[in-house]
Every structure is written in structure tokens, then in C-alpha cells.
Amino acid sequence: MKKILAFAGSNSSASINRQLLENVLKRMDNLDIEQIRLTDFSLPIFSVDLEKRGIPENVLKLQEQIDRAVALVVAVNEHNGGPSAFFKNTIDWLSRNRRDFLQDKKILLISTSPGARGAKSSLEYTERIFGRFGGEVLESFSFPSFKDNFHDGKVINEVLDMGIQDVVTTFAHQISE
């Protein structure tokens, strides 16, 4: 069975994107999924000076996780209209270690926020940048107004629930071909 790696781009212990990710992963229960937390791969803020000293061991460990997977499910958070500094820093380190760190990876991107756009700006940025690093975003879904549409691990808006299910079903079909 093809392995899927899943993670949220947030370092918050109460991440709404992680909550949405867990809901999505439950819909994929027939697939081999490994969910990780990026916080387990602590990294310093990227700088050229630090890079000259060598790539941190956690970048190499995270890259190994990515390399073992055929596909990724990534929940993208948003701070001020872009990805969080935490998530962007992880991408920066991975791309400096190996420019094509997502080569041949099929990707499902999801995002949410308390606002009506559902972190759409961060989602669109991540979709563009992941393509630059060799990944192929097959599906994406922006989940708006998290607090109004999600409760106790469940999507309570029927239209959004059907939308997520459609995206998940399509993605699962695409990666199994």
C-alpha cells in the first residue's frame, strides 16, 4: 500500500488546522497514513550563516519522512495573509537542503481559519511554492469560518462536509492509480 505523510503547518498546540487535518484523515481510513507533528522537528530560524555551518539533523530526518511517502496531506495555517513563520521556516530549510524536496509527491492541501476566506491566501501561496519544489498539488480545499462550521471534531456545515468528502475521495482515487 502507498504511504501518505500528513502534517499541519502550525506549531500551535490548539491548532484548528490540525483539527481539520484529523477530520480529513479519518475519511481516508482505508489508506496507509502516518501523521507527524512538525514541532517534533525543531529548527532554528533559517539564515545563510547557519546554513554554512551545515543542515540541521532535523531537516534530514524530516526529509527522510517525506521521501518514504508517495503522497502528502498538508494543513496550511495562515498568519496575516501568508503561511506562518514556523511553516515557512520549515519549507526554507527543506528547500535549501534539496531544491526538489517534494519531487514526484502528490499533494492534498487543506486550510482553515476563523475568517470567511479559510486561509485561502496561505493555501494559494503554498500551492505555488510546492510546485516549485517538485510537488504536484492534486486537490486543495479552503475551509471557511472554522468556529462556525466545525465542532467536536466534526464538520457541522453539510455543504462543506460534502465538499471535503469530494476532495478526499478524488485525491484518494488519484493516488491509487
| Burial (CB count within 10 angstroms: exposed 0-12, middle 13-18, buried 19+), residue 105 | buried
Give the whole-angstrom CA distance, residue 121 versus residue 124.
Answer: 5
Amino acid letter for position 109: L
**C-alpha cell recorded at residue 91:** 519549507
Beta bridge partners of 71: 4, 106
**Residue 140 confidence (pLDDT):** 97
**Residue 58 confidence (pLDDT):** 98
Domains in the chain, please, with CATH? 3-176 (3.40.50.360)
User: What is the residue-level pLDDT of the chain in tens, covering all 177 positions?
Assistant: 579 999 999 999 999 999 999 999 999 988 999 999 999 999 999 999 999 999 999 999 999 999 999 999 999 999 999 999 999 999 999 999 999 999 999 999 999 999 999 999 999 999 999 999 999 999 999 999 999 999 999 999 999 999 999 999 999 999 987
**Residue 40 confidence (pLDDT):** 97
Contact 45, 87 (CB under 8 A): no
**Residue 61 confidence (pLDDT):** 98
**Residue 14 confidence (pLDDT):** 94
